[in-house]
Structure 1
């Protein structure tokens, strides 16, 4: 069934979570300029409300900010990160990072600035509650079900090569994604209540050198519930001015139902037009279509 959903948003642009929000005061004739072709979008134009001043402060102190963020992730998560982008927000700067270890994910940190001054509160690095932990869980799913995810990746690459649809750019994921395990074609959502991955997460956090085989053995398969792992497929029409294809959406949804070699979970298959909102990274709009598919309990 096709759903044109105005209330369910694939909020990969995390403006509200990062201490800012999108300025929605545009007039209708300005709407077109707010969007970029998904093939061209690398994060250019992304912003958080009232962040312009802190953008400049952050750039002027990039070395200190990056050093503090890297130290934070190493101290709290024993995870090395590569810093891709700094975006000013109302209270300071949001720093988009990518984990460099075998457990791969994107996330972000927030470095606040003292109000009323240009002093930096370096060392007071923060993260949105549960976001890094979610990214680690998703990265662990990808690690211990490597073959299943490789099959999904290969399948979506074939869809893109055969149909007139595309995914996001890797650069946009790096610069403004920040939402756990992401590829150009999908992102994941792992709930904190997931008892299946919990022992894997706990074992990994105790010892990052734990072998993949040992992590696989720790996975509690009988406790898995499809709703706790959501795989959100996001594709875009290749050409501008073309409405989302119901045929492509139905093809993917049907194949997910019929294939037995994809990861288990709740899939949301969304097809959008060609545009990405520059300021928020959002691709899901009023004309987007989506369908849910559940694969295994």
Structure 2
């Protein structure tokens, strides 16, 4: 098939520089913002998505099915379709897991617009799905310990004037693994490739067996990339990120016990979300990645 844009180039253009919630700028889209309490993924875009809006809308059902089939055939994963976002010569389909693992990821459906109806070619960014699955596996394996992480996040919102991201915004914009309103888990695919392969060979393995795979690695967060990042937003509309709040949350985090092994970070944002990328407006205040992360062993 003679695609309008070579697949690998398309991925680089669409996904380059993406984070947990990716949204590249579209020159035709105004930079609108929302309060975090009101943000549900509205206005989320990828670069030059306006050029394929109509064709993506007209073929949304077929694009969604292509993404589902890709995940099933290549990863044996049943997924929910959360968002179909027009992009440069393609649609980025945001999906979430249906089964025991909880994670978000994305699939890229490139469009051959020289054909009528358009032909699809479906793929994913390198290691994107693998990272998401391992992230979900880690949360699944340490479910009891992560209940303590959840309790910590709840305590933070009760003591300080901060909130998390809406569930709907997470569904519409996330693609990086396990994500909830207050924190997300990111891993290095190279560091956990063996666990990923063993799980894919036997996806019906028990929680005990999956946990055993992680325990066998004797994870040291200083050596292996396994990040748990807290992300809070100031609750008062229009408020800017507060350094005092961030510092106090960091100090509280340093005193916790019983958390899963990992390198922990704290990011506190103001109340405003930039619609087009789903990110907090301006810089966050908190820990500096790789500089003062809090390693829990």
The answer as to whether partners of 2:237 and 2:271 remain within 8 angstroms in 1 is: yes
Deviation, structure 1 residue 118: 5.4
> Judging changes above 3 Å, is the alpha-carbon distance between structure 1 residues 133 and 284 closer, same or farther for their aligned structure 2 residues?
farther
The count of corresponding residues between Structure 1 and Structure 2 is 275
Q: Which residue of 1 aligns with 2:295?
A: 295
Q: Does 1:219 align with 2:214?
A: yes
In the TM superposition, residue 273 of structure 1 has moved relative to its aligned partner by 0.5
**Gap change, CA 1:149 and 1:100, over 3 Å in 2:** same
1:108–1:178: 8 Å Cα contact kept in structure 2?
yes
TM-score by length of 1: 0.85
Task: List alignment gaps of at least 5 residues for structure 1.
Answer: 1-8, 16-20
Residue aligning to 1:193: 190
For 2:42 and 2:217, locate their aligned partners in 1 and report how far apart those are by CA, in whole Å.
44
TM-superposed deviation, 1:115: 4.2
Deviation readout 1:143-170 (Å, 9 max, x if unpaired) = 1111111110121012112321111001
Residue 84 of structure 1 is matched in structure 2 by: 82
Deviation for aligned residue 1:257: 1.6
**Compared CA separation, residues 145 and 234, structure 1 to 2 (3 A):** same
Q: The residue matched to 1:219 in structure 2 has which SS?
A: helix
The CA distance in 1 between the partners of 2:261 and 2:214, in whole Å, is 14
Q: Does 1:66 align with 2:64?
A: yes
Taking the TM superposition and a 5 Å limit, the aligned residue runs for 1:77-156 are: 77-116=75-114, 119-122=117-120, 124-156=121-153
Distance 2:219 2:141 in 1: 14
Deviation by residue 1:176-209 (Cα, 9 ceiling, x = unmatched): 1112110111112101232xx4443222100111
1:1-297 paired onto structure 2 within 5 Å: 11-15=19-23, 21-23=24-26, 34-116=32-114, 119-122=117-120, 124-194=121-191, 197-227=192-222, 228-283=225-280, 285-286=282-283, 288-291=284-287, 292-297=292-297
Contact preservation (8 Å) 2:19, 2:176? no
TM-score if structure 2 supplies the norm length? 0.85
Q: Which runs of 5+ in 2 are unaligned?
A: 1-16
Please list the CA deviations of residues 63-117 of structure 1 after superposition, one character each: whole Å capped at 9, or x if unmatched.
2111111111111111100001111001111111101111110011111111445
Distance in 2 (alpha carbons) for counterparts of 1:216 and 1:207: 14
Q: Determine if contact 2:27/2:47 at 8 Å carries over to the other structure.
A: no
Q: Is the 8 A contact 2:25 2:48 kept in 1?
A: no
Contact 2:64 2:84 (8 Å CA) reproduced: no
Q: Which residue of 1 aligns with 2:11?
A: none
Q: CA deviation at 1:220?
A: 4.0
Aligned mates of 2:246, 2:260 — CA distance in 1: 18
